[in-house]
Structure 1
Amino acid sequence: MVAISVLSPSPRVEKLDSTTPDDLLAFGKAFCAQASRTVDKLQHAGDLWLLSADDASTLMDAVMESFRIQDQNVHHRLYVCSAAQPARMIRSPSQKTTVVNVTPGSARLDATGLKVTHVVSQSDVVKLLYDSRACLGGALSSTVEELELDVGAALTVQASTPALVAFGFMARDHTSSLGLVEDGRLVGSLSASDLRGLAAEDFPLLLLPAAVFAAKRALGPAVAVSLISTLEEVLAALVGHAIHRVYVTNAKGAPVSIITLTDVLRLVTKA
C-alpha cells in the first residue's frame, strides 16, 4: 500500500495573496478568447497512435500496443482511421496495429492521408469489460488488497486549499486529480477535466476553497471503495459513475490509495 501524500499549499498562498478576482476575470477573458484558435495551433508534440479500420486487430492488440498499457506513460484513447496512404504508416511488431507518428504541423488530413472513423478510450474498454465481466471468472470476487490494486499513490490537499493552488499542484506534478481531505477524511476530488467549460466570469471562483469551488461547479462527490471491495465493485463504481478513478479509503474514511482505469487494464492484460 502507498501512503497518501498531503500537499502543503503554503508556498503558493503567498503568491495568491496578490491575486484579485478582477485579475482572474481579465485572465479568463483573455484565455477564453483563444477559443477561436484552430486545433493545429494548440497541439503539442507527441506520438499519435492509430488503428487502421481495415486491419484485423483484436481488442487486446489495441490495449497493449496502442494504449501501451504496460508502459509507464500510457495513451488514454485510440483513433481508428481509414488508411488512405498506407506508405506513410509504420507497422507494429505484431503486424496488426497501425502506428503513425504525427508531429506538430503534420496532423492535418491532407498531410497524413488519414480519416478518423472512431475514437476508442480506456473508458470504452473498461465498460465493455464490465458488461462482459463473467469472462473474468474468480477474479471478480477478489479484493482490492488481494489483487494489489492498492498501490497507486493518492495525492491530496486540504479541502480549504484555494482551488487555484490545487490546480497549480496538478500542473506542477503532472497529475490529473487531487483528493480533498478534511480532518483526514476524503470529502471530495478535483480533476483537470473540472476546468472544462469554465467561462470567463467563472475564473474568480478559483480563489475559493477547493471544496467550495467543487460545490459551486456542481462537481460530483469523490467515489471511494475499500481494501475489501471486490474487483466487480470497483468496475461497477468506475462504469456506473462514468469516472476515470476511484479512491481507496480505510475504515476512517481516509484515502490510502487510488485506482484508475489504467490500473484495471494493466491488471487484466498482465501476462
Structure 2
Amino acid sequence: MSTGELQEAVELRSLLSATQLKQVLRPQHVVNIKDSASVDQTLRVLAAHRILSAPVVVGNSGEAGVPPPAGADKAPEVCGFIDIRDLLSSFLHEIDLKALADAKMLKRMRILEEQGARFAGKCIKDLRSLGSDGWFYPQHAAESTSLREIIHDGFLHPKETKRSVFGGTRSRQVVHRLALFDAEGHLSHVISQSDVIKYLYDHIDEMGPLAEASITKIGFVKGQVISVRPETPALDAMVLMEEKSISAVAVVNAQGAIIGNFSISELRTIMAEHFGSLALPVGEFLALEHGTEYAGYAIPSSGSSPSSSNAADELKRIEDTQAHKFASDRSMRRRESHPGYEVGQTLITCSPNASLHEVLDKIVANRLHRVYVCNEQLMPCGVVTLTDILHKLVEA
C-alpha cells in the first residue's frame, strides 16, 4: 500500500469509526403496516407516503399505516419489513407467465387486471415471496455503535435476529434499511442507506483522497450493465429483475444508448388496479408514469424508404415521411435536452472519469439510488449504487 493509499484508509476509517449512529439520526414519523393488512391496503399506504418499504407489526397498531397511540399499554411486535419488491415478486408467483408470454398485449392487460383484482385482497402475511429487506436494532445501542459497524454488520452483512421473523421465501444478503426500537418495543427510527450516504456526503472533507478518486480507479466501471429495449413489456423487465436479483435495469435504444431507467422506485405508486399497465412496453410504461408520450416507435430506422407504385401511395409515403421527420426531430430535441427525456425521466449519468465526489453530488442532490456510468455515446458501461459505495467505503 502506498503512502497516499495508507493516508486515505486512515482518514476514512477515522470518519466511519468515530461517528456514532446517533449522530445520523433525525426526528421522524415512522409509518408501519399491520401484518393483517391486505395487498391493496399496503400498496395504498406505501403510495400515500411515497415510500418503498415499511416495518410490519402485529398487536395494537391500529389501522394500516397508523402508528400505535401514545401511551398504549402494549407495544406492537415488529415482525419484519414489507416492500414493493416483495409485493410484485409475490404477484409474479400468482400468474401464469407462460400463458401471458403467448398472449397479445390487450389480452395480457385483461389477464393482469383480473389477476391484480384477486391479488389485491390477499393478506400480506400469506404471500409467497416476502423478504427481510430491513434489520432491527435496539435504540439504546445507537449510543455506542459506530457508523462502520452499522454499515458492515447492519446493511452489508445483516445478522439474523428474533425480530426479523416475517415469513416468506426471499432471503437477502444486503438490506437497505434498519429500524430502531426502544425499551418498550416501539419503533423510533427507520434509517436507510440513503441516510448514511447523505451523512457521509455532508462530511466528505473527512473522507480523504478517496473522494477525489475516479470511479474507474475505484472499480465501478465493469463494462456490462443489464438492460432491456423500450419495446420490452414492463412485466418481462420485472421478471428479468427478479431472476437477476436486482432492483433496476437500464432501458437502451437500438444503438445501445441509455434512454431510461426502469426500477422498483418507478413502481412506488402502483396500485393493484394498475397491474394491467405492466403489459405495456417499458418505454410507454415509463412515459405514462411521467405524464408524457413515448415517440420512439414512430421513428423508422435510418435509410428506410417504402416504395410506392402509384400517386396515392406516393402521397401517403410523403405524409409518412413528414410525420417520421417530425417525430425524429422531436426525439432529437429530447435527446439534446437531457438523457431520459424520451420517456419523461431526468436521467442522471456520469462519465467513467467522474470522481466519487461528483457521483455523490448527483446522488444526494437528486435523491437517487443509482447513477449509470456512460461513455460519450451514452452507452452504459457501469452503474454505481448506494450498496456499491458502502461496500467500497468499508473495504477501504
TM-score bin (small chain): 0.7 to 0.9
Counterparts of 1:12 and 1:265, CA distance in 2: 41
> Given residue 31 of structure 1, which amino acid in structure 2 is its aligned partner?
F
Larger RCO (CA within 8 A; separation ≥ 6): 1
2:149 matches 1:78 = no
Asked if 1 retains the 8 angstrom alpha-carbon contact of 2:137 and 2:178, the reply is: yes
Residue equivalent to 2:302: none
Asked if 1 retains the 8 angstrom alpha-carbon contact of 2:135 and 2:158, the reply is: no
Counterparts of 2:118 and 2:223, CA distance in 1: 37
- Pair member with larger Rg: 2
Counterparts of 2:100 and 2:282, CA distance in 1: 13
Residue equivalent to 2:261: 189
2:323 matches 1:236 = no
Residue equivalent to 1:21: 109
- Secondary structure of 1:117's partner? strand
Change (3 A) 1:162 1:12: farther
2:368 matches 1:251 = no
Counterparts of 1:12 and 1:149, CA distance in 2: 39
Counterparts of 1:198 and 1:20, CA distance in 2: 17
Structure 1: which 4+ aligned runs deviate by more than 6 Å? none
Counterparts of 1:153 and 1:115, CA distance in 2: 44
- Secondary structure of 1:22's partner? helix
> Given residue 68 of structure 1, which amino acid in structure 2 is its aligned partner?
L
Identity of matched residues, %: 30
Alignment of 1:98-109 (within 5 A): none
**Structure 1: gaps spanning 5 or more residues:** 1-10, 85-113
Higher helix proportion (structure 1 or 2): 2
Coordinate RMSD, CA, aligned: 2.7
Alignment of 1:1-271 (within 5 A): 14-17=101-104, 19-34=107-122, 37=123, 40-42=125-127, 44=130, 49-55=135-141, 56-68=144-156, 73-84=173-184, 114-151=185-222, 153-182=224-253, 183-218=255-290, 220-271=345-396
Asked if 2 retains the 8 angstrom alpha-carbon contact of 1:162 and 1:209, the reply is: yes
Asked if 1 retains the 8 angstrom alpha-carbon contact of 2:133 and 2:176, the reply is: no
The 10-residue stretch of structure 1 (119-128 or 191-200) with the greater mean CA deviation from structure 2: 191-200
**Structure 2: gaps spanning 5 or more residues:** 1-97, 160-171, 291-343
Deviations 1:130-187 (A, max 9, x none): 1111111322221111211223842101111111111121122222111000021000
Please report how far the alpha carbon of residue 70 of structure 1 lies from its aligned counterpart in structure 2 after TM superposition. Answer: 10
What TM-score do you get using the length of structure 1 for normalisation? 0.75
Counterparts of 1:148 and 1:243, CA distance in 2: 20
Asked if 2 retains the 8 angstrom alpha-carbon contact of 1:223 and 1:246, the reply is: yes
Deviations 1:61-107 (A, max 9, x none): 111111135999212111112245xxxxxxxxxxxxxxxxxxxxxxx
- Secondary structure of 2:182's partner? strand
Higher strand proportion (structure 1 or 2): 1
- Secondary structure of 1:20's partner? helix
> Given residue 212 of structure 2, which amino acid in structure 1 is its aligned partner?
S
- Secondary structure of 2:266's partner? helix
Q: How many residues end up aligned between the 2 structures?
A: 229
- Secondary structure of 1:190's partner? strand
Asked if 1 retains the 8 angstrom alpha-carbon contact of 2:211 and 2:355, the reply is: yes
Change (3 A) 1:254 1:160: same
Asked if 2 retains the 8 angstrom alpha-carbon contact of 1:179 and 1:188, the reply is: yes
> Given residue 146 of structure 2, which amino acid in structure 1 is its aligned partner?
T
Asked if 1 retains the 8 angstrom alpha-carbon contact of 2:134 and 2:177, the reply is: no
Counterparts of 2:135 and 2:273, CA distance in 1: 37
